[in-house]
């Protein structure tokens, strides 16, 4: 059979194959044009009315976090934590820090339906030392810590102190108390046992945290670590750097030790979904400041009850 006769005989088959091939090429092209959020695509969508109506003050800065399961929106509270919010906004505004700390990374610590945490710097010590440290900004009296005894009726430390065992209690509470009382030897402790017991019995949570090194500012509005709160993660007093956590439930044991810098005002479903996955599953493609309103003075923001 000649080539021309073969083409004429199988024309319909050839046309069908060509049509199928073209349709497959078009389908592949369409898939290639769909952006993959995990590959750093930036979604610069504006906040919807639901997000704006959830804000306590629409002049406050608003942060958008893009992930491959959806967007999370955070309202920052410059009145409640001015230094920490300014520090966080500085990190977001610096391309080098933002890319090192937040973008093309993941939420590295997850507790199911409790919190999600990000902002960890996994680089050498010199770079970590270059990252500024910010002091806590907490109003302990506004949170009522002075009304709660450090020791419960059964003699156990209050659970908000996060004391793990007897050695931990000795290191974090007793040793600073001995130093405050000028007790420097076993003999001095033996003669002042009654006074030590009296002080421990009268100790409240505010005083106990102060013994641990925490400092408070009574002029700031009070913010509790409730569901939706965004708190700075630290490794002790005045050690806030870049890590923050979004709380998905009330975490009262953080009261007095963790600075609240904002509130989640949109994206609770993606945040909850992230908490139910494994660290590294969910990628952050972008973290950006979407609104930099003129924040009011501290006195304009009411303390939470």
- Mention every residue, 6+ apart, whose C-beta is less than 8 A from residue 200: 150, 151, 173, 177
- Binned at pLDDT 50, 70 and 90, residue 247 comes out as very high
- Average pLDDT of the residues in 226-230: 98
**pLDDT attached to residue 40:** 35
Task: Determine the distance from the C-alpha atom of residue 222 to the mean position of all C-alpha atoms in its chain, rounded to a whole number.
Answer: 18
Task: Give the pLDDT of residue 185.
Answer: 94
Which residues lie below 8 Å from residue 229, measured CB to CB, with a gap of 6+? Answer: 223, 246, 247, 260, 262, 263, 264
SS3 at position 199: helix
Q: What angle do CA 103, 109, 115 make, to 5 degrees?
A: 100
Q: What is the pTM of this model?
A: 0.79
Q: How many residues does the chain have?
A: 305
- Is the pLDDT score of 34 beyond 50? no
**Nearest-angstrom CA–CA distance, 138 and 232:** 11
- Between 187 and 297, name the one with better pLDDT: 187
**Per-domain boundaries in the chain:** 3-34, 39-141+218-294, 149-203
Tokens 């500012």 correspond to: 217
pLDDT in tens, 50-92: 999 999 999 999 999 999 999 999 999 999 999 999 999 999 9
Query: Which CATH architecture group holds 39-141+218-294?
Result: Beta Barrel (2.40)
pLDDT computed for residue 22 by the predictor: 42
DSSP 170: I
Of 32, 51, 49, 35, the C-alpha closest to 270 is 51
Q: What is the mean pLDDT of residues 188-193?
A: 94
Beta strands in 77-157 (DSSP E): 105-106, 109-111, 115-118
45 — pLDDT class (breaks 50, 70, 90): low
pLDDT band at 26 (very low <50, low <70, confident <90, very high): very low
Whole-number pLDDT of residue 47: 87
Average pLDDT, the chain: 84
Mean pLDDT of 237-244: 96
């Amino acid at each position: 059979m000649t080539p021309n006769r073969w083409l004429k005989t199988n024309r319909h088959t050839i046309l069908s194959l060509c049509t199928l091939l073209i349709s497959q090429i078009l389908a592949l092209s369409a898939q290639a044009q769909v952006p993959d959020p995990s590959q750093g695509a930036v979604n610069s969508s504006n906040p919807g009315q639901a997000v704006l109506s959830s804000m306590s003050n629409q002049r406050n800065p608003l942060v958008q976090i893009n992930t491959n399961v959806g967007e999370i929106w955070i309202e920052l509270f410059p009145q409640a934590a001015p230094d920490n919010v300014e520090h966080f906004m500085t990190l977001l505004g610096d391309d080098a820090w933002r890319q090192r700390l937040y973008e093309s990374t993941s939420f590295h610590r997850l507790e199911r339906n409790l919190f999600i945490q990000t902002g960890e710097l996994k680089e050498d010590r010199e770079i970590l030392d270059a990252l500024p440290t910010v002091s806590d900004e907490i109003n302990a009296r506004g949170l009522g810590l002075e009304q709660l005894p450090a020791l419960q009726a059964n003699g156990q430390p209050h659970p908000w102190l996060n004391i793990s065992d007897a050695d931990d209690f000795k290191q974090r509470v007793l040793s600073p108390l001995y130093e405050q009382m000028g007790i420097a030897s076993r003999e001095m402790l033996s003669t002042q046992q009654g006074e030590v017991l009296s002080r421990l019995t009268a100790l409240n949570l505010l005083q106990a945290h102060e013994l641990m090194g925490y400092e408070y500012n009574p002029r700031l509005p009070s913010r509790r670590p409730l569901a939706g709160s965004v708190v700075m993660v630290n490794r002790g007093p005045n050690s806030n750097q870049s890590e923050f956590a979004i709380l998905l439930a009330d975490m009262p044991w953080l009261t007095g030790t963790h600075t609240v810098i904002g509130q989640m005002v949109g994206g609770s479903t993606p945040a909850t979904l992230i908490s139910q996955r494994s660290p590294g599953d969910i990628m952050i493609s972008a973290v950006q400041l979407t609104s930099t309103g003129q924040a009011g003075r501290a006195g304009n923001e009411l303390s939470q009850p």
